[in-house]
Structure formats: C-alpha cells, structure tokens
Chain A
Amino acid sequence: MANKLINQMGLPKSIANVFAARNITTAKEALSLTEFELMEVLDVSLADVTSAIARISEITCPPYQTALTLMEQRVQKEHMGGHLPTRLKGLDNALCGGIPFGVLTELVGPAGIGKTQLCLKLALLASLPTAYGGLGGRVIYIDVESKFSSKRMIEMGSKSFPDVFHTKGMAQEMAGRILVLQPASLSEFTKSLQQLKISLLQNQVKLLIIDSMAALISGEYGQGPARQHLLGWHISSIKSLAEFSRIPVVVTNQVRSQTRDEACQYSFQGQSREKAVEDHTGYDSHLVAALGIHWAHAVTIRLVLDSKSGKRFIKLAKSPISPPLAFPFNITSSGISLLNDDGIELTGPEINSIHCQGHSDIINFDGERFQ
C-alpha cells in the first residue's frame, strides 16, 4: 500500500494539486518528508500539511484485525488449522499440528544429516491427497544443489503410504504435482521468485521448499555489505510470499565453522564470561549456521538437525509456540522417523548449538568447500 497514489486519497482538490505539481505522487514519497520539509516544498500552511499527512497516513495504514478474528479465520478457512503435519508425532504435537502456513521454517544442519530427506518427505506430504491427510496441492521445490531425487521420494512414499502408492497411477499423479526448479544462479532464482508470486495462488501451490538458501547466496557473493543488502531483499520477498499466499515455506541452511573473533556477547557482559567462551571453543560447538544473525531474525521456526555421540537429533531451536525440545531420529527407507515422541527438553543455548560427532568425515568435506 506504500505506493498508493495521493491524488486518489480524497484530499481537498487544492492540496492534491499542489502535491501533484511538486511531483510527490505516492504515499511513500510524502511520508519520507517531515512536516516542515513538506511545508517548504509545497508552500502551504502547517494546518494544511498536518491534515494532509493525517489523511494520507489513514489511507496508507493497513486495517486492523483483532487476534480473535485472526484465529477464527485461520481455523475456518484453512485445512488442518493452517499446518502441514510432518507425520512425526512428537514434532507435530510440539508445533501445534505441524509446519505452520504463512511463515518461514528453517532447517539447519551439517551436510548429510538429513535436511534434504526431510524436505523430500514434506514435499510428499503436501502432494498427498487430502483424503489421506495431505494437502493435495502442488509443491514447488527449488533445488539449488541438485540433490533432489525422485527415486528416493517415491521409495519413501511407497514405504510410508503403501495403500496410496499401490493404487495405479497415483505415484505418477503425485510426483507430477511436484515441480522441481534448479536455478543456475541467483539472478535466475530471483526471476523465478517474481514469477512465482503471481502463479502461486492460481496453481494450487501448497508448499514452497528452497534447498538450500545458503548455497544460493554464498555461491555468488562474498561477505560484506553487498551480501547483507541482497539477503535483506530476499528475506522480505520470501516472507511476503509466504504471508500473502498463506503457504508453508521451508528453507534449508548450511553450517560453517565459527571464526574465533565471532561475537556472542554484549559489551556489558564484560570479562567474567570470557573464560566460559574459551572453554566452549575447545568443545565441539564450533559450527554455526551459514547465514548469520540477520537471517536468523527473519525465520519464525528454526529446526536444528545435528548428531551427538552417534545419535541424530532434531531440535526445535526457535519457535514461538513450543518449548525447546530435542527428538532423537534416524533415517529409514521410509524417510525420517523419530525414535521417541516425548522429546528431551533442553535448557539454555544448547538448543542452538550444532554438533557433528560421528559425522566428522562428512563435515570436513563441507568445511573445506566453505573456506
């Protein structure tokens, strides 16, 4: 609504004409100036400017909803109350039903831990007919690293839903609903993202997966402000995509090793903590998510996949609705499955750390590529 035209806001004709004459045509332009600047530019009195600003603001600002109407809308209109069930019972319970619609859900973890496996499973579930508890829609799968495997997905499907997949033609129909896009560069991705915006609603798309965001961004740009700026642009466009089409968006993120001088303290925390930090670096928590703190603020739900003493865990590192739980899991022929559904409640920043014990061979390979 930022680009609404001033001459359509029902301002008094004389004032509207002055705005037009000074080439201030949109709300964005008018509101970027202070009242005194506007007086100066438009050559009108303060009272006129304040009333014009009040009018423009009133029209530009979006309408409110009460939280209650928001909830009623979601419960009524959306299938399963606005969640895509993962069919991992513990995780679904913790997330109030599954991956929520309309927000970004991130999977972080070292290479080979099972991020793509989980993505494949989610793609399968979203394309599953509603009669079997799926969303019965199309899935757009943006596969940056060429890891998508139809064979593996069908295998997963026929193991977990044998009755669906043994019906003739179903496998073909479901696989036909998953559109895999393999952008070669970031600009190509940006272009398809813009196309997506228009076609998402028309085409019954129920899930968007980006595997992986980190590869996409770090492929072309180094560190520094250029990358930050670019990342910012993508963050807001993906977020608004999720929000306005009300579909779940799942994004994966890689890990990199933490550099020594990485900030993890505020200035007021001072000397006393220095020791503790030293201890930590000697420990095995030296992996951090590849996309930094700016990105981390943007995702609503962060699931960390890691392994510790030979066991793999899926951890709810950031979620507005559930306590910090960790679930042990393994990968079978039917995909990811939880070993127990209760989960272990973790306290403290432990939930955010990414361990990689028992996976070191794979990690080294990944680490080299990043350095």
Chain B
Amino acid sequence: MEVGRLPISASQRGKLISAGYTTLASLSSLSPSDLARDLKIPESEALEILKVASHDCRLDQPDKSNGIFTGAQTAWEMLHEEQSFPRITTSCADLDNILGGGINCKEVTEIGGVPGIGKTQLGIQLAVNVQIPVDFGGLGGKAVYIDTEGSFMVERALQIAEASVVDMSHYNELLRKELRTCQVEIQPTDILKNIFYFRICSYTEQIALINHLDKFILEHNDVKIVIIDSVTFHFRQDFEDLALRTRLLGGMALKLMNLANKYNLAVVIFNQVTTKHKEGSFQLSLALGDSWSHCCTNRVILYWNGDERNAHIDKSPSLKSASAPFSVTRKGIRNTASNHKRIKLM
C-alpha cells in the first residue's frame, strides 16, 4: 500500500484508498480535476495530494545527474569534507590528541562523568574556544549554551575567556615576531557576548528549544557549537512512562544530528552517570539507558584514574579507543602538569 506512506492526512488517505488509488503509479497520470471529482474534494486539495505523491515518486527513482541517489555523497567527497573542517580544541593537547584534533564539527559528541569531574568546565571551555579567530587556527564562531541544571557560572566563563585571550597574545608573540599585523583584538567581554545562553526548566522546554534551534541558527548563522549541559537532568526526574522518554530522547537526538549536518556545527551533549548492576557487580555507566547510547556519534567518559582526571573514548566510528589525562586549572581545561613539562622540554 504505497499511499499509506504518503505524508497526507488520515481522511485524505482514507478517501484515496476507498476510491481505489493504492499505488503511486495510479496517481502519476492523473490530473487534479479528475482526482477532485473521484474523491469529492476541492481541486486545490487534490493538487496538494498530487504534489506530495510526485515528490515521493521522484525520491524513489534514480537520479542520473548525481550518482545513484539524490542527496548521496561518495566516500571520497566525504573524506575531503572531513579534512576541510577545523576542529574545536579543548585547550588540553593530550585530549585533543585522542580526539583527533578536537571536537569535530558535523558530529554529536556525548561527554559523561561523575559529579565534580569537570563536565561544566569543559562545556564553558568549548564555548570560549569555538570563538578563537580563524587566524589563530580556530573557527571564529559563536556558541549556544543550553543550561538545564543552572550550573553555568558566568564568573567562571569570564575567567576562562580572560585566560584564553592571554594565551592567544602569547601565541602571537611567539610565532609572529616579524609579523606584527595580526594583533589580538578580541576582548574577554566580546567572548561572553557571543555565548547565547538558554536556561531550560522542563523537558518540554528542552524539546521546544531543540525544535526552535533550526530557526535560531538560521538567524545567527555563525553559531558553530551547541552545548547541552546536561541532556539528562529533566529527563531523569519527571517520567513515569519510560517508553515515552525513549521516544522523545530519540527524536531529540535525531534533530540534533540533522542540525549538526545542516549547519556544519558541533553538538556536545553532557550526560550524568548512574550505577548499573552488571555481571554480578555494580558499575558506573552513563544515564538514560541503552537505547540512548546509540544516539550519539562519539561518546567520551571522564573519570578519575588515581589522582588524575582522565578522558576515555568509549565509542567512536573513527577514533581508536584511548585515554588521556587532563586537568582543570584556574585558566580552564589544560594538560596535566607533568605532561606539560614534558612537552616544554621537547
């Protein structure tokens, strides 16, 4: 029943079927007025149905001009595209290393960890780093910060932004001694100005905002990162119906993925941890269950390894599973001290 999958209203579908139009082919040679007469509907409505049907038909048929399917890309093209996108640095060289250079655009990255490990810190750091100008190897973009927990601290954002500006001018002095043209013009307050902060108070607002982001980013088209801190909070509280929760989360993940693709931006989602009974013992794992864990392209877990904060790549289609230490300093996310020395020596 091909008409069953046309995006038309149920009553129209019913009329089509009862009039004997079940295949798309049977609609293809029809004029709007014929259809209007057969279904006893206004001609304008019939025209709508035919438009929808022919659109659907075209999707099914091979398009000769552009490979086999419309909208498809060859792997070779994708490789080129991937290489051309700069990545958003985390300000920690070791972490960038295992991430293949930083947080990737066009991808959804999930980051989870125990309370106090530095999730919000990393979020603020990324919101600042996305604004590093192109001259300095950054993206020069803006950030959308979606705060569901109320844990965003503007004082901390200022600290990190100040440190980032200082680092940029250092970099300037080191590498461009002869070339004085490129001054650091960006101010910490400019950085704060380019962080769009949304405070979300319920899961309905969360869904609404993600629906609305499409339009928002169209209006502010240099947004290069969307940070959600955290996706878990509201979905963890007020749900009786777990099937509904799974469905809503799935829809949300899909929309975020589309957004990442459409606007070439990075989506970073933070998740909380929970305990899980597995193989006879309790283990830590990220919250929201198994079906959610399929939703993100990359998954990074932050954990304590002895005295060090570590990041572990738990899931990624392109990166190998690896761990790297990082630390949270006054300036933001940085390499751990011991590693820092090593790099300086080299």
Contact = CB atoms under 8 A, between A and B. Distances in A.
B199 A265 contact: no
B208 A68 contact: no
Nearest to B308: A348
B292 interface: no
Tell me whether chain B's interface is mostly helix, strand or loop, or mixed. mixed
A31 B121 contact: no
Nearest to B230: A297
A70 to B, nearest CB: 5
A302 interface: yes
Interface string B149-193: 111111111110000000000000000000000000000010011
A232 B204 contact: no
Nearest to B199: A62
A66 B193 CA distance: 5
Contacts of B155: 71, 96, 321
Contacts of B76: none
A222 to B, nearest CB: 17
A54 B211 contact: yes
Interface residues of B, number: 85
B194 A66 contact: yes
B204 A321 contact: no
A67 B278 contact: no
A208 to B, nearest CB: 15
A54 B121 contact: no
A226 interface: no
B282 A263 contact: yes
Interface of B: 7-12, 48, 52, 114-116, 120-121, 124, 127, 144-145, 149-159, 189, 192-205, 207-209, 211-212, 215-216, 230, 232-234, 236-238, 244, 247-248, 251, 272-276, 278, 281-285, 301, 303-308, 312, 314, 321, 328-330
Interface of A: 1-2, 27-28, 31-32, 34, 39-40, 42-46, 53-54, 56-62, 64-68, 70-71, 74, 96, 100, 102-103, 232-233, 235-236, 239-240, 242-243, 261-269, 273, 276, 292-294, 296-300, 302, 317-318, 320-321, 323, 347-352
A100 B153 contact: yes
A43 B153 contact: no
A293 B329 contact: no
Contacts of A64: 144, 196-198, 216
